[in-house]
Chain A
Amino acid sequence: MNIPWLTVLGLLPLAGALLLVALPRTAARAAGLAVSLLALVLGGWVVAQHLAGAPLAEQVPWIPQIGAYWALGPTDGLSLTMVALTLVLTPVVLLASWRDEDRRGGASEAVRDVAEVRQREQVLVGAGGPERPATVGGGAGGGAATAAEQPRRWSARAFFALVLALEGFALLAFLTTDVLLFFLLFDAILLPMYFLIGAFGGANRKRAASRFLIFALGGGLIMLASVIGLYVVSARAGEPSFLVADLAALGIGGEVGRWLFVGFFIAFAVKAPMVPVHTWLPDAAEESTPAGAVLLVGILDKLGTFGMIRFCLGLFPEASLWATPVVLVLALVSILYGALAAIGSKDLMRLVAFTSISHFGFIVLGIFAWTSQSMSGSILYMLNHGLSTAALFLVVGYLVKRRGSRSVEAFGGVQKVAPVAAGLLLFAGLSTLALPGLSSFVSEFLVLAGTFSRYPAVAAVATLGIVLAALYILLMYQRTMTGPVTDDVRDHVRSDLDGRERLTLAPLVVLIVVLGFFPAPVLDAVAPVVGATLEQAGVADPAPSVGQEAN
């Protein structure tokens, strides 16, 4: 029997999410972790199949009337890189939030949070209204009074189920080669993320979650117009189909191609996010839990850059070339603006979010520099950024949870109290600023070198981003970790990272170091995709002499 392994891989976390709802609370966490690990194993097998030269692919008619298919694969380097990232980050995230979710906790529970709840409580008492105990959230609350003091949160079971649902949608979205199915998943994935922010985040989480959703839906709907347009074009050309391969064969160009490209690009730019449609990310990352932020920036936002390569460049090469100058400028602005905003940021979670905007600028730059070097670098960058940002968010989250505040000023001298946490923060930070020997260095170098060979001026400006990156990471470290231990830190940061917390960071650290020294397997895997994309656009790498100068 022919088992559709890709479908199984994608549906496994989704089924797990449903299963969790049915399980008793106590077993849910273990079951959730088990499902995510099982998916990791299965994913490893899929990757092995691909590397063994037998890429998996499935294709079943889904809505034959409009030419939509349940089409997963054939797997390629791009999709598998993203799948691997998703599969690795999910168990890490689950383990990292193992103890968070049944009680007050999580990084974003600032002091003002309690104050707000107290205030609300007084209003309730004053009006004589009955206080209903929360039935879904606040399982750890001892009595009605303690339950009221805590902001109502949902249960760990709900958190784990949502994370698994997000994982499943992400896996399917990265694997699919049908535009309509991709769009469906691209939008569907917003729902678990929305609840992850809105139900588990900090004091202003509702606002942040709504903002996130409105931005993403807005982008998605603009893309929907383009998706419909694609169908019309393909129907006029003969057989209507949503398959990427069929659509790419049409060679959609001219004015129509440009309009459709713009629709796709706006959606991906919102998702990635690029300046000027980035404003939702700092809020969302700030207000969500560290685990939510990892998923948001590490996985969800990758759909944007993934989509740019797969759909913008893949379907509309002509229009992509046409739009390159504008996109490059936007990417530069993102790099510099994100870095400057990170330097000026007073909130640690927000700071990390801004660094991501800068990094997404680099990724987009590499994609639209149209060289095999820079595009390979971008794909690798997507992987590395996911790993290093996850590490950064998690360490920051652990520290913030201890200190009870996200503010940079609330910290000082932590490295004397919690040396392991400080060390890991420094490690993650250095990985973020692309220290040679850590994985981000390779990708950032490839992006810049590739860009230089075609657009030297652009690369020169982008290099400023590296300098600024060093500034925002080291300044942050200096302000929070070094110096004399402040009283507040001594009061609150009583313990260093415990075993579970170290365990969550261990795989990330190992991967960052390994990929820093041996990026070749990933680069080899993505080379065919990059080559095909460039060939389709009719772009050849610039003469190597220019590349020599870059070095």
Chain B
Amino acid sequence: MEITPPSLEYARLMPLIVVFAGACLGVLVEAVTPRSARWPVQVGLTFLTLLVAGALTVSGWSAADVGISALGSVAVDLPTYFVWTALLVLGALSLLLFTERRLNGGVSAFAPQAAAVPGSVDEELAIRARTEHSEVYPLALFSLFGMMLFAAASDLLVMFVALEILSLPLYLVCALARRRRLLSQEAGLKYFLLGALASAFFLYGVAMLYGYAGSFDLAALDAAISAGQQSTWLLLVGMAGVSIGLLFKVAAVPFHSWTPDVYTGAPTAVTAFMASCTKIAAVAALLRVFYVGLGGLRWDWQPLMALLAVLTMAVGALLAITQTDVKRMLAYSSITHAGFMLTAVTGASLSSGARDLSSVGATLFYLVAYGAASVGAFAVVTLVRDRNGEASSLDDWAGLGRRHPWLAGAFSVFMLSFAGIPLTSGFIAKVSVFESAWSGGYAWLVVVGVVLSLLAAYFYLRVIVTLFFADPRPRAAAVTTDAGTTAPTGEPDPTTGAGPAGPAAAGPTAEAAQPGAGALSVATRSEEGAAAPAEETSVTSTASRPELGAGEVGVGRAGVATYAAVAVAVALTVVFGLVPGPLLELALQASVFLR
């Protein structure tokens, strides 16, 4: 028997391969380079990888090198190229935040030793040895590879594999925060457990759809639906399962409950990465599955999707209003935006005749607009700090606009974009998704969406009010009371945003300032657990950070990378708001999936 080797379109798949190879090389770097050199080497390797992959993607895109590749499992078409480019650009922006070390006194925002129990002697030793987990870079690249594959998969099984590839590294990096480690670990665990459940649903759905169509291929599924020979139950159950898996990643209600906790607990750079890139990949995959695979079933899923869109917008906006923590509010905002995108998905309108807009194009534009603003917003969150790290409580941000008008101005731009106020990309994005829904026959959904937009605008504008018009409150009392309440409760209390959420929050700066006191503090901590370090920090860290007084919130001095990320995000948001034409054109051209 003769075995024909599978033919792979290497040139076309090269962006995927490069990112994967970069990630693998990163693992190798961990093994062979000395500890001191790892961080810079990883940073260089990562950005080189992204650059090369980006260049390859753009060259493939401009050459319109499209086709179903890798034996029918990967569809490299125009939407794929658009999504890849968006993923690489926004991923690079988020990874810029990963590189920030100046804010933390010369170490990264990731845990010094993930395996050490929070508050243990091991951790103290690791902090003092100033170790860092430079593995976050290969992990992020693996995840990015998964996202790229996820968005391009035209085969349900490959899609499942991609889903796992993108998720597993994220579960890990979510748990790697240097400060408030318990919250971070809880976030990682929660994300993992719920994500695994959603994956199970997805896999179950895939199995059902396979039973229905006899193939994992999306085009074959579509053909089977058109033929309509098989049991509808298999199809509907399969669709439900796959949808749950996808909507979980999109963070649509009712599969959203992980979002606030994970977004809050994860290191902020990781949150930025998740909010922008995961959302893009997940929505792109959702579009592909529903438009290519389940397009024939449109009349069945459209009403359901409309309902989900309304729920997602409403729940996200309503709960966001009640938040007092900026990071958590942004998490709910990301849910709301999932809802806005679902309105376009619901419409399922194609560009026809003189009308250029389409659901896919509108959604793709929305993803970029939302992703850029998200990365920027979370980048600003990393900058606003007190002596214990990020100060993300909304009260802490009061009056920031007076002391740091540029930073507050940038954050306001992102908020305005989220709220869909004109002159920002969010406005054009909102107009186009609503238009797609209306053209698809869902005018009522647009009206509901507009009303809920007002609700959403309310909490975004409240942030601006707080930034510019509110008077800063004294926080001395807040810090001491918070230390007692930071045990790993089931629901992280948003009000404790101001205080340290665990011994790790004492931070390396404190230790660096008083190396002599180290041994003593280790003993204290291991005995008394979470309550002890608050007083201690109040003594030590003031000395090491002269710019921040007791209980004071300010803007930390960051490296160039973070500022660059904020600046690029502002530029993207404003430019795409004023001159949306070119990007919209690209998005609209990329609105037909290859099947």
Bound Cα distance from A12 to B64, whole angstroms = 43
Asked, given contacts A199-B468, A225-B434, whether A218 binds B356 with beta carbons under 8 Å apart, the answer is no
Which of chain A's residues has its CB closest to B457's CB? A217
Instruction: Name the B residues within 8 Å of A184 (CB-CB).
Output: 422-423, 427
B476 within 8 A of A: yes
Q: Smallest CB–CB gap between B181 and chain A, Å?
A: 30
A224-B450 contact given A132-B403, A210-B461, A231-B435, CB 8 Å threshold: yes
- Complex formed: what's the CA distance from A50 to B6 in Å? 73
Question: How many angstroms from the CA of A187 to the CA of B426 in the assembled complex?
Answer: 13
A61 CA to B581 CA in the complex, in Å?
Answer: 9
Contact between chains at B423 and A130 (CB < 8 Å): no
With A198-B465, A221-B453 as known contacts, state yes or no: A185 contacts B355, CB within 8 Å.
no
Q: Which residues of B lie under 8 Å from residue A527 when comparing CB positions?
A: none
Q: Are B423 and A188 in contact (CB under 8 A)?
A: yes
Give Cα distance in the complex from A227 to B476, angstroms. Answer: 50
| Known interface pairs A129-B476, A183-B422, A210-B461; A229-B443 also in contact (CB < 8 Å) | yes
Q: Which of A206-260 contact B (CB under 8 A)?
A: 206, 209-210, 213-214, 217-218, 221-222, 224-225, 227-229, 231-232, 235, 238-240
A492 within 8 A of B: no
A26 at the interface (CB under 8 A from B): no
Main secondary structure, interface of A, reads helix
Flag whether B37 is at the interface (Cβ < 8 A). no
Give the contacts of B342-396 with A (CB-CB under 8 A): 353-357
B580/A63 in contact, CB under 8 A: yes
Q: Could you say which residues of chain B place their CB within 8 Å of the CB of A235?
A: 353-355, 357, 439
Q: Does A3 contact B (CB under 8 A)?
A: no
A124: interface (CB < 8 Å): yes
B584 interfacial by beta-carbon distance below 8 Å: yes
Any chain A CB within 8 A of the CB of B447?
yes
Q: Which residues of B contact A185 (CB under 8 A)?
A: 422
Stretch from A51-59, A133-141, A507-515 contacting the other chain: A133-141
Residues in A neighbouring B164, C-beta threshold 8 A: none
Q: Which of B356, B453, B461, B465 is the one whose CB lies under 8 Å from A66?
A: B356
Residue from the list B416, B447, B474 in contact with A129, Cβ < 8 A:
B474
Tell whether A120 is near chain B: CB-to-CB under 8 Å: yes
B473 surroundings in chain A (CB, below 8 A): 129
A117 closest partner in B (C-beta):
B471
Once bound together, how far apart are the Cα atoms of A123 and B268, in whole Å? 34
Query: Which residues of B have CB within 8 Å of A195?
Result: 468
Using known A-B contacts A221-B454, A232-B439, determine if residue A238 contacts B422 with beta carbons closer than 8 Å: no
Contact A225 B435 (CB under 8 A): no
* B357 adjacent to A239 (CB under 8 Å): no
CB proximity of B462 to chain A, nearest CB, Å: 8
In the bound assembly, the distance between CA atoms of A185 and B581 in angstroms comes to 18
Is B549 in the interface zone, CB < 8 Å from A?
A: yes
| Interface residue B472 (Cβ < 8 Å from any Cβ of A) | yes
B454, A218: Cβ atoms under 8 Å? yes
Find out whether the CB atom of B465 lies under 8 angstroms from the CB atom of A228.
Answer: no
Q: How far is the CA of A135 from the CA of B468 in the complex (A)?
A: 12
Residue of chain B at shortest CB distance from A231: B435
Number of interface residues of A (CB under 8 A): 50
A120 vs B399: C-alpha distance when bound (angstroms): 15
Contact (Cβ within 8 A) B469 A65: no
B401 smallest CB distance to A (angstroms): 8
Q: Whose C-beta in chain A lies nearest to the C-beta of B584?
A: A65
Task: Determine the distance from Cα of A137 to Cα of B401 in the docked complex, in whole angstroms.
Answer: 11
CB of A542 to closest CB in B, whole Å: 38
Closest to B471 in A: A120
- Assess whether A62 is interfacial by the CB under 8 Å rule: yes
| Those of B560-595 within 8 Å (CB) of chain A | 580-581, 584-585, 588
State whether the Cβ of B405 lies closer than 8 Å to any Cβ in chain A: yes
B8 at the interface (CB under 8 A from A): no
Q: Which residues of B contact A206 (CB under 8 A)?
A: 465, 469-470
With a cutoff of 8 Å between Cβ atoms, the chain A residues found around residue B421 in the complex are: 187-188, 190-191, 217
Query: Which A residues are in CB contact (< 8 Å) with B416?
Result: 191
Max chain A C-beta neighbours (<10 A), residue from B357, B473, B549: B357
Q: Please indicate the chain A residues that have their CB under 8 angstroms from the CB of B357 in the complex.
A: 65-66, 235
Chain A nearest Cβ from B273, distance in angstroms: 30
**Shortest beta-carbon distance from A156 to chain B in Å:** 15
Asked whether A187 lies within 8 Å of B472 as measured between CB atoms, the reply is no
Q: Which of B446, B472, B584 contacts A225 (CB 8 A)?
A: B446
Say whether B422 contacts A198, CB under 8 Å: no
CA distance A134 to B447 in the complex (A): 43
A116 to chain B, nearest CB (A): 11
CB-based contact A152/B428 at 8 Å:
no
Query: What CA separation (Å) do A240 and B436 show in the bound complex?
Result: 13
Question: Do the beta carbons of A152 and B422 come within 8 Å of each other?
Answer: no
In the complex, B35 has a CB within 8 A of chain A: no
Docked CA distance A341–B528 (Å): 66
B474 with A127: CB separation less than 8 A: yes
Give residues 469-520 of B contacting A (CB, 8 Å).
Answer: 469-477
A149-B474 Cα distance, complex, nearest whole Å: 18
A64 at the interface (CB under 8 A from B): yes
In Å, the complex CA distance between A65 and B436 comes to: 13
Please tell me if the beta carbons of A132 and B472 are within 8 angstroms of each other in the complex: yes
A180 at the interface (CB under 8 A from B): yes
A246–chain B nearest beta-carbon distance, Å? 12
Q: Are A65 and B472 also in contact (CB < 8 A) when A187-B422, A227-B431, A238-B354 are?
A: no
Most buried by A among B465, B549, B552: B465
Flag if B581 contacts A130 (CB, 8 Å): no
Known: A187-B421, A228-B438. A62 touches B581 (CB 8 A): yes
Please tell me if the beta carbons of A63 and B428 are within 8 angstroms of each other in the complex: yes
CB distance from A141 to the nearest CB of B (A): 14
Shortest Cβ distance from A66 into chain B, in angstroms? 6
Could you tell me if B402 and A135 are in contact, using CB atoms closer than 8 angstroms?
yes
Q: Which of B423, B438, B451, B588 contacts A229 (CB 8 A)?
A: B438
Given A65-B356, A187-B421, A195-B468, residue A128 in contact with residue B402 (CB < 8 A): no
Query: B482: shortest Cβ distance to chain A, in Å?
Result: 16
Q: CA of A199 to CA of B470 in the docked complex: distance in angstroms? A: 10
Residues on the A chain within 8 Å of B552, using CB: 130
Question: Would you give the shortest CB distance from B317 to chain A, in whole angstroms?
Answer: 13
Contacting pair B402 A136 (CB below 8 A): yes
Which residues of chain B are near A188, meaning CB under 8 Å? 421-423
B413 to chain A, nearest CB (A): 11
B233 within 8 A of A: no
A190 to chain B: which residues have CB within 8 Å? 421
Separation in Å of the A304 CB from the closest CB of chain B? 17
| Residue B417 lies at the interface, judged by CB distance under 8 Å to chain A | no
Q: Flag if A127 contacts B461 (CB, 8 Å).
A: no
Q: Which residues of A contact B85 (CB under 8 A)?
A: none
Q: Which residue of chain B is the closest to A213 with respect to CB atoms?
A: B461
Residue of B nearest to A123 (CB): B474
Taking CB atoms, residues of chain A closer than 8 Å to B184 are none
Is B10 an interface position by the 8 A CB rule?
Answer: no
A137/B402 in contact, CB under 8 A: yes
Find out whether the CB atom of A128 lies under 8 angstroms from the CB atom of B468: no
Cβ-defined contact, A214 with B458, below 8 A: yes
Given known pairs A63-B580, A180-B431, A229-B438, the reply for A152 and B465 (CB within 8 Å) is no
Per-position 1/0 for A173-187, Cβ under 8 A of B: 000000010011101
In the assembled complex, which residues on chain A have CB atoms less than 8 Å from the CB atom of B475? 129
* Bound form: Cα–Cα A218–B457 in Å: 9
Is B278 an interface position by the 8 A CB rule?
A: no
B432 on the interface (CB 8 Å rule)?
yes
Considering only residues 99-148 of chain A, those with a C-beta below 8 Å from chain B are: 120, 124, 127-130, 132, 134-137
With a cutoff of 8 Å between Cβ atoms, the chain A residues found around residue B355 in the complex are 235, 240
Contact between chains at A130 and B477 (CB < 8 Å): no
Q: Which 4 A-B pairs have the closest CB atoms?
A: A129-B474, A184-B422, A235-B355, A65-B356
Contacts A65-B588, A66-B584, A206-B469 supplied; 12 other A-B pairs, CB < 8 Å: A63-B581, A128-B476, A130-B474, A130-B552, A136-B401, A136-B405, A187-B422, A191-B421, A221-B450, A221-B453, A225-B434, A238-B353
A-B contacts, 5 listed (Cβ < 8 Å) = A127-B477, A136-B401, A188-B423, A214-B458, A217-B421
